Structure 1
C-alpha cells in the first residue's frame, strides 16, 4: 500500500491478497481507520470513491489486484479537531503469552491450530474475563493483522480449535465450514449403551424458551435442521460407551443436545443430562467431550489434518474403563452421508413428532387415562358411588311407544327440564301462526 504524497492529492491503493473478498467499508476500517463511515458513504454518493475506475459503494466486495481510488483527505476543522488515532493496548502478562503459545499444535503461514483445554471459553462474555480471543495477541508475532477465530468450542469442551492468521485465510476457512467440507471428529464418553453402533441423529434444534438462549432443545416445529453421526468405539458393559461424534451441521450445543435426546447423555454434562450424566467408580465429573481431529482444506491448496491430545481427566477415564486411544484413531474418516434435502428434513421432523405423540398416548394409557378428552378412570381403593345413573331418553329396542308421545316432545306427565311435572293438556312450545298468543291446548 503506497502512502499519499500530499494531503490534497488523490490516493490510490492496490488490494493485497490478505484483503481479497472483504467489503470496501471494512477495507477502510482496516487500512484508513481515521476515515469515518459517513465520509466513505458521502464519497460513494458523490462518485468520488471508485474501484478500477468504476463507482463503488461501501458494501461492495473488493478483490486482489483491484485499485481503490480515494479522494483527498479532508483537513480537520478548527471547531472539530481530528479524532485521536485508536491504538490497541495489549496487556498480556508473560504467563498468559506462554500459555497461549503452549496451546499451539499446528502452525503455518495461514493458520494456527490450538488444543483448547476444558474450562477456557472461546470468546468473552458478561461474566467471562479469560478466553481464547483475548490471548490471540500473543500469536500475532510479526504479522500485520491480528489472528482471527474461525469457529468456536464450548467452554467445557476441549480439543482442536482453528485460528486464521490472515483475512484471506479466515474467509477461506469460513467457506469450508459453511459448505460442510471441513470435517470435525469428537470423542465422548456417554452414559448407557446405544443399541445401534453406527447411527445418524437427525433432530432439529432450537433455543429453549426462558433461558435467554443459554440452553437449547429439540424443536421439531421451529428448530433448525441438525445432523450428527455417531459410532461406538468401545463399551464398558451396559453403563458406559466411548463414541465418536461427527457433526454435519453447526448448531449450538448440537452434540450434547442430540446425545441427551436419544437417551445417552455425555458424561459430565449435567446441563442436558441432569444427575444421570455422571458415573461412579473414579470417573471424573468434568465434561467428557473432546474435539479429537480437525481436517480442513488449506487456502494454498494443501490440507490441514491435526489430532489434539486428550485432557488429563478424559485420558484417565479411558484407562479406568480399560480403553486404549488407538482404538478410536483406527476408525476411518469417510466422506459421510450426502446432505439431506428440505423434503427429507421435513419428513424426519414429522416422523419424530408422530413418535412423540405415540409415546405420550402410551403414557396416558399407562396412567389409566383414555384418549384425549375422556375423563380419567376412578382411583382404586375409593368407596363405590351410591348415586343412581340417570335414565336415558332413548327407548329400548322393541319397546312400545308411550301413549300420547310426540316426536321430539316430552312424555305426558313427565317433568320439564328444570321445572315441575307438566300437567296433562298443558300447552307445549310450538310454531306460531301469528301474534303473541300461544296456540290453544287440545281437549281430550
Structure 2
C-alpha cells in the first residue's frame, strides 16, 4: 500500500514529502488580483500541493503521556474509558499511528470522535483534517468546516489558519477573501507563522483589509493541554486503510442538485450568459471546467474516476485532476498521487497510451513532469505531449507551454511557450488566452 504522510498540526498533508514544493499561496493570491478563473502563467510545473519546508514541530504536538510502558498504556486506556477527553484524543492518535498500540483505524476514529463529542479543540481540529482529506472517514469538507470552526472559536491558531484557507478554496465555503484575511490575522496575532506569512502575501498582492469594527479577535487559546503528539515521533510516513464506504457519488449529486443560480455561483460562472449555454447541471459543470474553475475540474475528475454521470475513464480522470492541480487544487494533486500508486491505474493508463489516447499521453507526460512517476524518460514524456498536440489536445498544448516557460524537462524558451499557448487559444481555450495575457503583462513589467 502507498505510504501517506499526515501532519496533524498542519492543514495539508503530503503523500511524498520533500520532493515537491507547496505553492498554493502563489495561486490563491494571484486570484485576488485577477479573478477566480485566471491562471498564473509562471506557475511551477512541479506539484502545487506539497512543500519541503513544512514545519515539523508545533505547540499542538506535545504528549500528555510521553512514556509508553505497559502501565502507561493501561493508565491512558483507563483514563479514556473514564471519559477524559485528552486521554481519548491521545489514545485515538496512538491507534492511528500504531504507537504503543496496534494500528487500528476503526478504534482510532472511535476515540477521536469521543474527544470531539466533548468539544476538545485539538480533537476537533485533527478530526477536521481527517474529514477534509478523507482519512479513515468519508471525505466531507462541510463537516470539516464545522470542526475547524469549533476549534477556531476556542482560540486554536492552527484552526483559524485552516478556516482562512477554506475561505480561499471555494469548496466548503463561498470564497471570501475578507473573511480569509480575518482568520489569518487571528492566527498571526497568536504568533502562528503560517498566518503571518499569509497576511504578508495578501497585502503584497494589493489586497485591502476589511474595516470591520464589529469584529472582535479571539485572544486567548483555551486548549493549552490538548497537545498530545510527541514531537520526536516520525510523522512522515505511515499507512492508512480505507475503512469507509466511498461517498463521492452522494457528494457530487448533492452539489449538482443545487438550484442553477446557486450552482453557477459555486462554480464561479454566475456572470456567464445562460442563453448561450447548456444550463443543465452537467452542462454548467462542463462550462465551468472549460473556463478554468478548479472546483469544477475536481468534480469532473472525480466523476470520471468513479463513473458518476460520465462513463468511467481513468485517463480522463487523471487529465482533469492534473488541470485542477495546475490551477491550485491541492486535493486534486493528492488524489492523483494516490492514483499513480495504484497498479491498476498505471496499467489502465499505459493501455490507453498504447492506443494513442491523447488524454492518457498528456496525463503520463504531466505525471512525469510533476515527479509523481519516473517510469518513462523525460524525452519520452515530451514525445507523448507532442503526439497529443498533433491530435489538437488543448491541455497538452498548455502543458508544453508551461514546460518551456519554466524550463522543466526542456531548455527554457519563452517563444515556444507562447506559441503553444497561442495554438490553444486559437482553438478556443480560455485558460490559454489568460496565460498569454498574463505572461505579456509580466514581460512588460520585466521590460520596464
TM category (shorter chain) comes to under 0.3
Q: Taking structure 1 as the reference length, what is the TM-score of the superposition?
A: 0.21
User: Which is richer in helix?
Assistant: 2
- Greater C-alpha radius of gyration: 1
User: Which is richer in strand?
Assistant: 1
